[in-house]
Amino acid sequence: METITVQIFKDDVYEEVAKATDYTGAKLIDGDEGARDRILATDSDLSDLGRFWEESVLATNERLKEMIVSGATKQIPVTITLQPKDVEAQSIVIPSQVTRTGYEAVLEVSKSFDKGLKDNVQSALRNFFIASIIAQWFKLANKGEAADYFNQAGEMMDGAERLLYSRKRPTRPSD
Contact yes or no for 47/137 (Cβ under 8 A) = no
Determine which of 137-141, 146-150, 151-155 has the lowest per-residue pLDDT on average. Answer: 137-141
Query: 59 vs 17, which has greater pLDDT?
Result: 59
Q: What is the CA radius of gyration of the chain?
A: 20
Check pLDDT > 80 for residue 164.
Answer: yes
Query: What is the pTM for the complete model shown?
Result: 0.83
Q: What is the DSSP string of 89-144?
A: GTT--EEEEEEEEEEEEEEEE-TT--GGGHHHHHHHHHHHHHHHHHHHHHHHH-HH
Check pLDDT > 80 for residue 11.
Answer: yes
* SS3 state of residue 166: coil
Average pLDDT over residues 76-103: 74
The upper half-sphere exposure of residue 72, i.e. CA atoms within 13 Å in the direction of its Cβ, equals 4
What's the DSSP call for residue 169?
Answer: P
Alpha carbon distance, N-terminus to C-terminus of the chain: 26
Tens of pLDDT, residue by residue over 43-77, are: 666 666 788 999 999 999 999 999 999 999 999 99
Sign of CA dihedral 17, 23, 29, 34: positive
Percent of the chain with pLDDT over 70: 78
State how far the Cα of 77 lies from the Cα of 82, in Å rounded to an integer. 16
